[in-house]
């Protein structure tokens, strides 16, 4: 959250809201780590939204890039083979958009993969 503030994004009391609830995944006592990863994942999206003056969530490439970054940097798949799971995780999120076909999502992910996977901001490294 500090990096969001440094980027000029004010964080008010209504910054984090639950819309429609959060699916909780509890498996083998790792809930605390999963909860932290989900929060980091969503904060990466918030950071991307803040720093991207021209970011448009209805643009498949923009959406794909933020999903790649959020899946990579949050550690969502660290417990499950890391790198090889980031792309399918991003694919799942982008194809959840009802206006984006599976083919279009795959093309968008492939087009931005290298740039977005290697963009580690706000962290120094992944």
Burial 50-87 (b: 16+ CB within 10 A, else e): beeeeeeeeebbbbbbbbbbbbbbbbbbeeeeeeebbb
pLDDT for 80: 52
pLDDT for 95: 93
Share the mean pLDDT of the chain.
Answer: 79
**Residue carrying structure tokens 């279009």:** 104
Tell me the catalytic residues: 42
**At residue 39, what are phi and psi to the nearest 5 degrees?**
-65, -45
Global pTM value: 0.77
- The answer to whether the CB of 69 falls within 8 A of the CB of 48 is yes
């Amino acid at each position: 959250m500090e990096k969001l503030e440094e980027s000029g994004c004010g964080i008010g009391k209504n910054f984090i809201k639950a819309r429609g609830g959060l699916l909780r995944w509890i498996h083998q006592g790792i809930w605390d780590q999963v909860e932290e990863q989900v929060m980091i994942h969503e904060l990466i999206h918030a950071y991307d939204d803040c720093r991207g003056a021209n970011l448009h969530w209805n643009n498949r490439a923009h959406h794909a890039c933020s999903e790649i970054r959020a899946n990579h940097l949050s550690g969502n798949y660290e417990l499950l083979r890391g790198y090889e799971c980031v792309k399918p995780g991003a694919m799942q999120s982008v194809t959840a958009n009802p206006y984006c076909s599976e083919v279009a999502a795959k093309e968008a992910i492939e087009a931005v993969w290298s740039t977005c996977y290697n963009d580690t901001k706000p962290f120094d490294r992944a």
